[in-house]
């Protein structure tokens, strides 16, 4: 049986990808689908554990902070069905790493991420899955 990128990388797909669709608890990108939240970084898209806005913490964004400084200038954060305040510790960690951020409902965040990616901006996305 041939291995797909999902089985080769266990929840990680290398490269930046447009998010083709979202909803029903997951996302579609690179002709694949993933159920659950995702973290879309310049080095790849990975499964992401948070399911609620309060779970978006510096620890949950460790993969973002581990990247080379300056690789990401803006993080689009999809908070689920509606915007919710980002925890202060997370705001501070993003500022300390010189990463600007914007948080909004996941649908709006995905749309903005796709536009910025198309403009070749240094963007990443942290998207909570919505039903």
Per DSSP, what are the bridge partners of residue 13? 45
- Bigger pLDDT: 84 vs 17: 17
Radius of gyration of the chain (CA): 14
Please write the tens of the pLDDT for every residue from 107-123. Answer: 999 999 999 999 999 99
Q: What is the pLDDT of residues 42-66, one digit of tens each?
A: 999 999 999 999 999 999 999 999 9
Which residues span the domain enclosing 66? 5-127
Q: What is the DSSP string of 6-54?
A: HHHHTSEEES---EEEEETTEEEETTEEEESEEEEETTEEEEE---SGG
Residues 5-52: pLDDT tens digits? 444 456 899 999 999 999 999 999 999 999 999 999 999 999 999 999
Q: Which letter does DSSP use for residue 86 in this model?
A: P
For residue 71, what is the domain's CATH number?
Answer: 3.40.1230.10
Domain count of the fold of the chain = 1
Q: How much is the pTM? A: 0.91
């Amino acid at each position: 049986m041939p291995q797909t990128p999902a089985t080769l990388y266990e929840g990680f797909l290398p490269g930046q990808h447009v998010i083709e669709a979202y909803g029903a608890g997951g996302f579609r990108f690179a002709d694949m689908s993933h159920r659950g939240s995702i973290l879309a970084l310049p080095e790849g898209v990975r499964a992401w554990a948070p399911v609620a806005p309060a779970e978006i913490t510096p620890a949950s964004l460790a993969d973002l902070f581990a990247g080379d400084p300056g690789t990401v200038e803006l993080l689009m954060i999809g908070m689920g069905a509606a915007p919710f305040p980002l925890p202060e510790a997370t705001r501070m960690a993003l500022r300390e790493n010189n990463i600007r951020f914007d948080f909004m409902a996941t649908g709006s965040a995905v749309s903005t991420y796709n536009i910025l990616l198309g403009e070749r901006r240094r963007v990443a996305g942290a998207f909570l899955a919505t039903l």
